[in-house]
Copies of this chain bind each other. A is one copy, B any other.
Amino acid sequence: MRARDLAAPFPTVGLDTSALEAARLLAGSDLPGLIVVDRRGHPTTVLAGTQVLRMAIPRYCIDDPALARVIDEDHADRFLSDLADRTVEQCLPDKHGELPVVDPKATVLEIAALMARARSPLVAVVGGGDMLGAITLDALLDRMLGT
C-alpha cells in the first residue's frame, strides 16, 4: 500500500484565513490538525492540533505551568478570543520542524515513521507539486488493522 492509495480529500486553510476561523474548523470537523496552503494551493505548513492550540496561548504560559496558574478563571476562559484579530500567518511559529509531507509512492511504514518523528497525526500527500490529499493517523491505522 502506498500514500496515493490512502490520500483522501482534506480541508485546507490559507495564510490569510482568520486564526479563529481555523480553530473553529479544527474543532467543528474533528480533524487532527490543519493544512495551511499558499495561494497556489501548495501545502506550506501542516499543523498538528496541539500546534494550532499553541497559536492562542501566551508563550510564557506554555513555558512555565506556574505562570499559567496565576491567570484567573475568567481570563483563562477567554484565551481563544485573542485569535479573532489575527490571521493564520501571524500566528504561525517562527521555526518549523520537518514538514509532514510525503510522496505518493511512500509506503505505510514511511508514512508512519514520519508521523512518529514529526509527532504529527496528519501528513499531506504531494506529487508533481500538487496536493493530492492527506492521510490521518486514524485512517492509516483503520486501513492497517481493518477496524
Contact = CB atoms under 8 A, between A and B. Distances in A.
A112 B50 CA distance: 8
Contact of A109 (B28, B63, B79, B145): B79
Query: Contact size class for A?
Result: 35 or more
Contacts of A50: 115-116, 118-121, 137
Interface string A40-82: 0000000011110110110001110100110111011101100
Interface in A111-147: 112-121, 137-138, 140-142, 144-145, 147
* Residue with the greatest number of chain B CB neighbours at <10 A, chosen from A50, A53, A121: A50
Nearest to A120: B50
Given A68-B110, A71-B109, 11 more contacts: A1-B73, A1-B76, A30-B30, A30-B138, A32-B32, A49-B138, A65-B114, A69-B107, A73-B107, A76-B109, A77-B144
